[in-house]
Each structure stands twice: as structure tokens, then as C-alpha cells.
């Protein structure tokens, strides 16, 4: 019942399906003190509570669909008739049939129209379940440190926060903070009088986070969403929220830059409600911690909350048996070969273990942590940088220890074959350096994978050093260089097959490719580039990632023909009945037409016919019918020259 100027608590509570006590508690959170069930709240406050309750109930409305869901799938998941969904999309000017696959943007738009949020289901590979909360078969699960990723809008302080957290580490303090970047680190903190560890991933940007998930690696238990208190929720903040939701990972909000005079944490909390993250004050259970990466204020609280969320979720792993884990990052390092940071997810990783990571394998030769300390073994949730793999795996690849070297090799080789076959069979054209340049120019993010072979170890290391420098100098370019394999010796067939499997370009320095590998490269379309001056090599790579590498074309004459007869079809198509006097003609190739000494026109071989059949090519000494695009003024005696533009190696 409405009363003058507002509504009674008891009535509003009934409307919202709450008890009066619950409503009074919520109002208290909003800073409104209500005396009892019969007291009256003003209309404005009532409306605020109503909209918050609505937001809170919407919170449950997440619709989960597969990455290649059709419109029908989404409609059914939302319990809407597919034809109604088709019509709704038509209202947005999009025509999608029920059985057509929905783009992410269309799915979000359609779901949004019905008040849903789309979460993309990612099929987790069963292997990793051992690293998560699920029960490992026959194994005893034990508590493990939580693994945390920090996400948020650019400049809101992700990097600063990671640094601040490192400083709060009790162990790092003892070591004077000598640290090494391996893509992840662990800190140890006091929690309820107990020393507890937390693992932080310090590489993944948002794209990396989803890419890892797409590869099957679910490496994060908790997402810290950083929002600058002097700014607010920005596009990448929203993106981060969506990624975390899709991964079903709990979010803790860190409201950063609290030291700034214009910090307005309340505004951030309010904005969060618009994205269905309800902090306590708004009746929700999302933890928001005010912090300053600059002054360290609030950092201990943030760490406490992480452990609290970890305790609630009981992250566990089986610490026994062979290790499995996920590759966090990997690179080639001078003097060490391929090094990869592995986040161990279950079991124990030991020196000498036979490891398979994605397509790579090898014996674990050394393991170091982020302080550069050598380890003999590493258990669940520990990130370690290992050396010994035969080439560089990709971030997100799953790493698993095998029983012996033979099995490790067999598994890796089987995977390489599979990857190579699927690449060869697929519609994707193999990449060349010129393609990379083109993609860089078009602003498409691209990973430039290389296989580097050189005459001596010294030159290989110099090249790797230079490539690392190019990556550092060109951080802004949206191309990253990753060396999959480096080694001494000529380019072999197995280098080429690895290049196919990993989509790499092969670089040779002062070495050659033997005949078999040249043939394999030609057959499989692998770009092999040979150099004998390091500068030329690095200049090419740099030009490619900056998109500055214009391809060079050269004209090749394929053949010549003489017109012997002119035909015209009833539909008006003019055919030059010709005799190939030299070389050959190819359908689709370019043509120049000469009459006497004069060049008449040029075009393309639209149709090529031998007797009555379409032909792809006609060789020297044969007669054929040729239709040249846009050329009808055909006369007996005209000379045709067929040519092609070939892209040249630089
Ligand atoms: P990222 O892009 O999210 O990694 O952000 P950064 O960590 O690089 O920080 C962006 C800028 O904000 C830098 O100039 C930092 O010095 C500054 N910054 C980060 N945290 C704080 C903070 O707590 N207080 C203040 N005043 N500045 C901060």
C-alpha cells in the first residue's frame, strides 16, 4: 500500500519477496536507516531498491552456449521460439536463419534483447580436471595455492598492482627482490597466523586469457578486476568481466589509485551494479577492495580476500604422480634453447621427467622459479621455467609427463603429424613473410613463428638476441615474434615438417636447405629464407612486422598465340580461334593483344577451350578458342601474349 510520499517497509518487502528484516538490512547498506516494518521510505529510495533487486535477479540470467551455436541453439537456451528470435534479429537489420551459426556479436545482441548475458561454453579437456576442484581418479586431493590473473582496462594499474603485490611477499623481502620474468610468480603471505602461497600470472592480457581457454587450459581460479578509482568502468573492464564470467571464475574487484584526490570509489561500486557485479553495499556478494598500487595501501587486504575466496572454493589438486600443467609462456633463450614456463596443475614435475608440451617434447633439464632459484621438483600451482624441450610450445598448450622418453617422443610426433596434416588439408594458405607484412599493415594481430637454423651456435644466438631486441623495440606493433626452434646445421626435412605443424617461417643463416627439404618446402608452401648477413635478416623481419614489406613482382611470359579465326556466339561473346605458337596459355592468366607493332589492349584469359571442352591450359602446337575479357574487336592475324606476375623472394 502506497502512503503519502512513499511506501511502508512491510509493503515494499512483500512486493520484493523479502522479509522486512532483510529489506531493512539492505536499506542500511544504502545508507538509509529504517526504524521498523511500519516506517515509510520515500519513493525514490523504493525505486532504487527495486532496480537493484531487478539487477540482482538478472544476475542469474546467463545463457550458456557453445562457441559454434546456431540461432536455434541460443533461442532454445533462452526458451524462446526460434522464429521469434529470427524476427528479433531482423529488427536489428540482421537476417540469420535458425540453423545458421551466430557470430558472437549477434548472439550478444539477441541475448541482450531478452535480458540475458552470453557465456561461451569451452570444452575443458578432461586432463586438466585433475588440476581443478574435481576429483582425480584414485588420487588424494590436497589444498593448493590459488592461481590469480589480474585484468582490467589499460592504465588502470595492472602492472603496478603486480609489482605492489610482489613487494608484499615475505619471501621476496628476504631475497632483496631479485626477480626474473617467467610469466608468473608466487607470493607467500601470513593468513590467520599461517604462511600461505598465492600464484599470480603476470602475462595474460585478455586475448591471451581466452586463447588459453580455447586451447583447453583453464589456468585461473580467481580474476582480480582492476578499476581505477579516478576513472571508471571502461570498455576493457567490461571485456574482462565477460571473460571472467564465461570462464566461471570468481571476480574480486580492486579499486585502484585510492591515493588520488579525485578517487571516487562509490561511483565505481555503483557502475559495477550496471554490470551485475553487486558489492555488499548493494546487497550483493562481490568483494571490492580499495587499494593503491602506489602507496601499497590495501594490498594486504586484497591478499587476505584472495585467500578467503580460495578457502570458500577449496581449490585442490592431486599432488601425487606424474605432473600435468599448462604452458604460460615460452621462448628461445640464448644459451638455453627453448624455455617454457609451466604452471603445474597436478602431480609433481621433476628434473629428468619426460615432458610433452603441445607438439614439443624433451627431458626436463633445469627448472627455475621467478627468483632464479634452481628447483629439483615443483608441485601443484607452482610456476616454473623449464628447459630441455626440443622446441618452443605455445602459451596454453597442455604439458604432461610421460612414462619414458620413447612414449614422450611418440606422443609428440603423433601430434605433430596430426597438426601438419590438418594444416596441409585446411584451406589456410601457409604464411610467408610478405603475408605477415600485409597482415601487420591491415592491423591484424599476428604471431610470427620462426624456425632459425645457423652455421654455428654463436650466430644462432646472435640472431635470437637480435630477434628479442626487435620484439622489445616494437612492443606497439601487433605482431609478436616467437622462435619455435633454433639450432645448428642445414635445414632438414624435419625442420620443414615442424614449420608446417607450427605455421612457421624457416630462416637459415649461412646454411643451405638440402634438395629433399627444398622439395618439401615447395610442396607444403613453407617460406624458407636464406641469409648470410645478420642485418639483412633482422631488417626483413622488422620490415615484415611493421607492415613495410611490399612484395616485388616480376612478369613471366607464358606463351604466344596467333588469331586464325573469329567466332561469335549467339549471345555476342567473341572468341579468338587461335594457334599457340610458343609456350602455353593458361586460363585466368593475363594477356596483351598486338596488332602489327601496336599494342591494342590487355585483359585476362576468361575462357580457354580445346575443341568443345574447357581447358585449364593449352600447350604450344595446339589450336584453341580464347576469350579475352572485354575484347571483342578480334581480327585474324592479331597476336596474343599470355603472361603472369610472379611474387619474388626479396
Ligand atoms: P596497466 O596498463 O593496467 O598495466 O597500468 P600501469 O600499471 O602501467 O599503470 C598506469 C599508470 O597509472 C602508471 O603511470 C602508474 O604509475 C599509474 N598508477 C598505477 N597504480 C597507481 C596508484 O595506485 N596510484 C597512482 N597515483 N598511480 C597509479
Q: Which of 108-117, 562-571, 588-597 has the lowest mean pLDDT?
A: 108-117
Which residues are CB-contacts of 145 (< 8 A; sequence separation ≥ 6)? 186, 196, 197, 198, 199, 310, 315, 380, 381
With a pLDDT cut of 70, the percent of the chain lying above it is 87
How many angstroms is it from 628 CA to the middle of ligand 1? 63
Which residue has a Cα nearest atom 6 of ligand 1?
157
pLDDT band at 480 (very low <50, low <70, confident <90, very high): confident
Give the model confidence (pLDDT) of 538-550 as tens digits. Answer: 888 888 877 766 5
How many other β-carbons are positioned within 10 Å of the β-carbon of residue 585? 26
Ligand 1 and 154: CB distance under 6 A: yes
Whether residue 218 contacts residue 133, with contact meaning beta carbons closer than 8 Å, is answered with: no
Ligand 1 and 230: CB distance under 6 A: no
In a domain, 20, yes or no: no
Instruction: DSSP letter for 399, please.
Output: E
Give the model confidence (pLDDT) of 355-371 as tens digits. Answer: 999 889 999 999 999 88
Q: Are residues 617 and 560 in the same domain?
A: yes
In a domain, 35, yes or no: no
Who wins on pLDDT, 430 or 134? 430
166-175, 296-305, 461-470, 521-530 — which one is most confidently predicted on average?
296-305
Ligand 1 and 294: CB distance under 6 A: yes
Question: Is the per-residue pLDDT at 126 higher than 80?
Answer: no
How many angstroms is it from 256 CA to the middle of ligand 1? 8
CA dist 74 and 107 (Å) reads 7
CA dist 305 and 291 (Å) reads 12
Supply the CATH number for residue 288's domain. Answer: 3.40.50.300
Which pLDDT score is estimated for 80? 85
Supply the CATH number for residue 454's domain. Answer: 3.40.50.10050
Judged on CB neighbours under 10 Å (0-12, 13-18, 19+), 146 is: buried
Which residues are CB-contacts of 317 (< 8 A; sequence separation ≥ 6)? 130, 131, 132, 136, 141, 142, 144, 345, 346, 380, 381
Pairing of strands 147-152, 194-201: parallel
Pairing of strands 222-228, 251-256: parallel
Pairing of strands 446-454, 505-509: parallel
Supply the CATH number for residue 643's domain. Answer: 2.40.30.10
How many angstroms is it from 156 CA to the middle of ligand 1? 6
CA dist 402 and 139 (Å) reads 18
CA dist 55 and 130 (Å) reads 36
In a domain, 42, yes or no: no
Which residues are CB-contacts of 387 (< 8 A; sequence separation ≥ 6)? 333, 336, 337, 338, 339, 364, 365, 366
3-state secondary structure of 394: coil
Element (H, E) at 474: none
All cell numbers assigned to 567: 567466332
For residue 258, which atom of ligand 1 is closest to its CA? 23
Which pLDDT score is estimated for 249? 87
Q: Are residues 260 and 301 in the same domain?
A: yes
With a pLDDT cut of 90, the percent of the chain lying above it is 33
**Of 534, 541, 529, which is closest to residue 477 (Cα–Cα)?**
541
Give the model confidence (pLDDT) of 2-55 as tens digits. Answer: 566 788 888 888 888 777 877 887 777 677 777 778 888 888 888 877 877 765
pLDDT band at 562 (very low <50, low <70, confident <90, very high): very high
Q: Are residues 537 and 567 in the same domain?
A: no
Hey, which bits of 229-275 come out as E strands? 251-256
Q: Are residues 216 and 271 in the same domain?
A: yes
Among 157, 204, 239, 296, the mutation site with the greatest number of ligand 1 atoms within 8 A of its Cβ is: 157
In a domain, 47, yes or no: no
Instruction: DSSP letter for 616, please.
Output: S
Ligand 1 and 296: CB distance under 6 A: no
Report the largest interatomic distance among the alpha carbons of the chain, rounded to a whole angstrom. 106
Ligand 1 and 299: CB distance under 6 A: no
Size (the chain), residues: 650
How many angstroms is it from 244 CA to the middle of ligand 1? 22
CA dist 332 and 316 (Å) reads 32
Whether residue 62 contacts residue 69, with contact meaning beta carbons closer than 8 Å, is answered with: no
Q: Are residues 559 and 537 in the same domain?
A: no
Ligand 1 and 206: CB distance under 6 A: no
**Of 307, 315, 309, which is closest to residue 192 (Cα–Cα)?**
307
CA dist 105 and 115 (Å) reads 15
CA dist 380 and 185 (Å) reads 13
For residue 260, which atom of ligand 1 is closest to its CA? 26
For residue 163, which atom of ligand 1 is closest to its CA? 7
Among 149, 159, 160, the mutation site with the greatest number of ligand 1 atoms within 8 A of its Cβ is: 160
How many angstroms is it from 267 CA to the middle of ligand 1? 19
**SS3 breakdown of the chain: % helix, strand, coil, rounded to 5?**
30, 35, 35
pLDDT band at 609 (very low <50, low <70, confident <90, very high): very high
CA dist 292 and 257 (Å) reads 5
In a domain, 208, yes or no: yes
Who wins on pLDDT, 390 or 97? 390
CA dist 463 and 508 (Å) reads 10
Ligand 1 and 229: CB distance under 6 A: no
CA dist 353 and 408 (Å) reads 10
Task: Quickly count helices (H) and strands (E) in the chain.
Answer: 18, 33
CA dist 214 and 124 (Å) reads 9
All cell numbers assigned to 639: 597476336
How many angstroms is it from 158 CA to the middle of ligand 1? 7
CA dist 451 and 464 (Å) reads 11
Rg (CA), the chain: 32
List Cα–Cα distances, 544 to 106, 170, 474, in angstroms: 34, 45, 12
Q: Which of 345-349, 576-580, 628-632 has the lowest mean pLDDT?
A: 628-632
Cell 623481502 belongs to 173
Q: Which of 119-128, 282-291, 428-437, 505-514 has the lowest mean pLDDT?
A: 119-128
Q: Are residues 155 and 291 in the same domain?
A: yes
Which residue has a Cα nearest atom 24 of ligand 1?
257
- Give 604-610's long-range contacts (Cβ < 8 A, gap of 24+): 604/628, 604/629, 605/642, 607/575, 609/575
For residue 153, which atom of ligand 1 is closest to its CA? 3
Question: Is the per-residue pLDDT at 125 higher than 50?
Answer: no
Ligand 1 and 158: CB distance under 6 A: yes
Domain that holds residue 244: 141-317
For residue 293, which atom of ligand 1 is closest to its CA? 23
SS (H, E, C) 479-526: EEEEEEEEEECCECHHHHHHHHHHCCEEEEECCCECHHHHHHHHHHCC
Q: Which residues pair with 42 in a beta bridge?
A: 6
For residue 156, which atom of ligand 1 is closest to its CA? 3
pLDDT band at 206 (very low <50, low <70, confident <90, very high): low
Residue that terminates a domain, selected from 482, 512, 546: 546
Whether residue 561 contacts residue 554, with contact meaning beta carbons closer than 8 Å, is answered with: no
Number of domains in the chain: 5
Element (H, E) at 164: helix 158-167
Which residue has a Cα nearest atom 11 of ligand 1?
155
Cell 629439483 belongs to 376
Residue that terminates a domain, selected from 503, 525, 546: 546
Which pLDDT score is estimated for 499? 86
Residue that terminates a domain, selected from 374, 405, 424: 424
In a domain, 13, yes or no: no
List Cα–Cα distances, 343 to 109, 402, 485, in angstroms: 36, 17, 22
3-state secondary structure of 630: coil
How many other β-carbons are positioned within 10 Å of the β-carbon of residue 537? 21
In a domain, 369, yes or no: yes
Which residues are CB-contacts of 509 (< 8 A; sequence separation ≥ 6)? 452, 453, 454, 455, 459, 460, 463, 530, 531, 532, 534, 537
pLDDT band at 139 (very low <50, low <70, confident <90, very high): low
All cell numbers assigned to 235: 570498455
All cell numbers assigned to 305: 580476500
Judged on CB neighbours under 10 Å (0-12, 13-18, 19+), 155 is: middle
For residue 295, which atom of ligand 1 is closest to its CA? 23
Q: Are residues 472 and 499 in the same domain?
A: yes
Which pLDDT score is estimated for 217? 67
136-145, 173-182, 538-547 — which one is most confidently predicted on average?
538-547
For residue 226, which atom of ligand 1 is closest to its CA? 3
Q: Are residues 412 and 494 in the same domain?
A: no
- Give Cα 151 to chain centroid, integer Å: 15
3-state secondary structure of 465: helix
How many angstroms is it from 488 CA to the middle of ligand 1? 44
Ligand 1 and 180: CB distance under 6 A: no
How many other β-carbons are positioned within 10 Å of the β-carbon of residue 455? 16
SS (H, E, C) 567-595: EECCCCCEEEEEEEEEEEEECCCEEEEEE
CA dist 372 and 368 (Å) reads 5
Which residues are CB-contacts of 76 (< 8 A; sequence separation ≥ 6)? 82
Which pLDDT score is estimated for 446? 65
Ligand 1 and 157: CB distance under 6 A: yes
Who wins on pLDDT, 103 or 352? 352
Whether residue 90 contacts residue 309, with contact meaning beta carbons closer than 8 Å, is answered with: no
How many angstroms is it from 269 CA to the middle of ligand 1? 20
How many angstroms is it from 155 CA to the middle of ligand 1? 6
Average pLDDT across the chain, whole number: 83
In a domain, 322, yes or no: no
Among 228, 229, 293, 297, the mutation site with the greatest number of ligand 1 atoms within 8 A of its Cβ is: 293
pLDDT band at 58 (very low <50, low <70, confident <90, very high): very low
Q: Are residues 463 and 359 in the same domain?
A: no
Q: Are residues 535 and 601 in the same domain?
A: no
Q: Are residues 540 and 588 in the same domain?
A: no
Q: Are residues 295 and 198 in the same domain?
A: yes
pLDDT band at 135 (very low <50, low <70, confident <90, very high): very low
pTM beyond 0.75: no
Ligand 1 and 267: CB distance under 6 A: no
Amino acid at each position: 500500500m502506497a502512503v503519502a510520499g512513499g511506501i511502508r517497509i512491510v509493503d515494499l518487502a512483500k512486493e520484493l519477496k523479502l522479509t522486512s528484516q532483510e529489506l531493512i538490512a539492505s536499506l542500511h547498506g544504502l545508507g538509509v536507516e529504517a526504524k521498523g516494518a511500519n516506517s515509510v521510505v520515500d519513493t525514490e529510495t523504493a525505486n532504487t531498491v527495486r532496480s537493484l533487486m531487478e539487477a540482482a535477479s538478472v544476475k542469474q540470467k546467463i545463457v550458456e552456449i557453445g562457441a559454434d551455436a546456431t540461432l536455434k541453439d541460443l533461442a532454445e537456451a533462452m526458451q524462446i521460439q526460434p522464429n521469434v528470435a529470427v524476427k528479433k534479429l531482423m529488427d536489428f537489420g540482421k537476417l540469420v536463419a535458425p540453423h545458421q551459426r551466430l557470430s558472437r556479436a549477434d548472439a550478444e545482441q539477441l541475448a541482450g534483447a531478452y535480458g540475458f548475458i552470453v557465456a561461451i561454453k569451452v570444452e575443458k579437456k578432461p586432463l586438466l580436471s585433475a588440476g581443478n576442484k574435481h576429483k582425480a581418479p584414485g588420487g588424494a586431493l590436497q589444498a593448493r595455492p590459488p592461481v590469480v590473473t589480474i585484468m582490467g582496462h589499460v592504465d588502470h594499474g595492472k602492472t603496478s598492482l603486480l609489482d605492489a603485490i610482489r613487494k608484499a611477499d615475505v619471501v621476496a623481502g628476504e631475497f632483496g627482490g631479485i626477480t626474473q620474468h617467467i610469466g608468473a610468480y608466487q607470493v607467500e603471505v601470513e593468513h590467520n597466523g599461517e604462511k600461505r602461497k598465492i600464484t599470480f600470472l603476470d602475462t595474460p592480457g585478455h586475448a591471451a586469457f581466452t586463447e588459453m581457454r580455447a586451447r583447453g587450459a583453464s589456468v585461473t581460479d580467481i580474476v582480480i578486476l582492476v578499476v581505477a578509482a579516478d576513472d571508471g568502468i571502461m570498455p576493457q573492464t567490461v571485456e574482462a568481466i565477460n571473460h571472467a564470467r564465461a570462464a566461471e571464475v570468481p571476480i574480486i574487484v580492486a579499486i585502484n589509485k585510492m591515493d588520488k584526490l579525485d578517487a571516487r570509489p562509490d561511483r565505481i561500486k555503483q557502475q559495477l551494479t550496471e554490470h551485475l557485479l553487486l558489492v555488499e553495499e548493494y546487497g550483493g556478494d562481490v568483494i571490492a577492495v580499495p587499494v593503491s598500487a602506489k602507496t601499497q595501501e590495501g594490498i594486504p587486504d586484497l591478499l587476505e580476500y584472495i585467500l578467503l575466496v580460495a578457502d570458500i572454493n577449496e581449490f585442490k589438486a592431486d599432488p601425487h604422480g606424474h605432473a600435468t600443467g599448462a604452458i604460460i609462456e615460452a621462448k628461445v633463450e640464448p644459451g638455453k634453447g627453448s624455455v617454457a614456463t609451466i604452471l603445474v596443475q597436478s602431480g609433481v614435475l621433476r628434473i629428468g621427467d619426460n615432458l610433452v608440451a603441445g607438439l614439443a617434447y624433451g627431458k626436463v633439464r633445469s627448472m627455475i622459479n621467478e627468483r632464479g632459484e634452481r628447483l629439483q621438483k615443483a608441485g601443484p600451482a607452482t610456476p616454473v621455467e623449464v628447459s630441455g624441450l626440443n622446441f618452443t610450445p605455445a602459451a596454453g598448450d597442455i604439458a604432461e609427463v610421460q612414462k619414458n622418453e620413447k612414449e614422450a617422443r611418440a606422443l609428440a610426433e603423433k601430434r605433430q603429424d596430426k597438426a601438419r596434416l590438418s594444416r596441409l588439408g585446411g584451406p589456410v594458405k601457409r604464411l610467408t613473410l610478405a603475408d605477415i607484412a600485409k597482415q601487420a599493415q591491415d592491423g591484424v594481430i599476428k604471431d610470427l613463428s620462426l624456425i632459425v637454423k645457423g652455421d654455428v651456435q654463436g650466430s644462432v644466438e646472435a640472431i635470437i638476441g637480435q630477434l628479442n631486441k626487435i620484439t622489445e623495440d616494437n612492443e606497439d606493433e601487433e605482431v609478436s615474434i616467437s622462435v619455435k626452434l633454433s639450432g645448428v646445421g642445414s635445414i632438414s626435412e624435419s625442420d620443414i615438417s615442424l614449420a608446417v605443424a607450427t605455421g612457421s617461417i624457416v630462416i637459415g643463416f649461412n646454411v643451405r636447405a638440402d634438395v629433399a627439404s627444398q622439395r618439401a618446402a615447395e610442396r607444403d608452401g613453407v617460406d624458407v629464407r636464406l641469409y648470410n648477413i645478420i642485418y639483412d635478416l633482422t631488417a626483413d623481419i622488422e620490415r615484415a612486422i611493421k607492415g613495410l614489406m611490399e612484395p616485388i613482382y616480376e612478369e613471366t611470359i607464358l606463351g604466344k598465340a596467333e588469331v586464325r579465326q573469329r567466332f561469335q556466339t549467339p549471345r555476342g561473346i567473341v572468341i579468338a580461334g587461335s594457334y599457340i605458337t610458343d609456350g602455353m596459355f593458361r586460363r585466368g592468366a593475363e594477356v596483351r593483344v598486338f596488332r602489327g607493332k601496336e599494342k591494342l589492349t590487355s585483359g585476362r584469359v576468361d575462357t580457354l577451350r580445346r575443341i568443345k571442352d574447357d581447358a585449364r591450359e593449352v600447350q604450344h602446337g595446339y589450336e584453341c578458342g580464347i576469350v579475352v575479357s572485354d575484347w571483342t574487336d578480334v581480327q585474324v592475324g592479331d597476336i596474343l601474349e599470355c603472361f603472369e606476375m610472379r611474387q619474388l623472394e626479396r
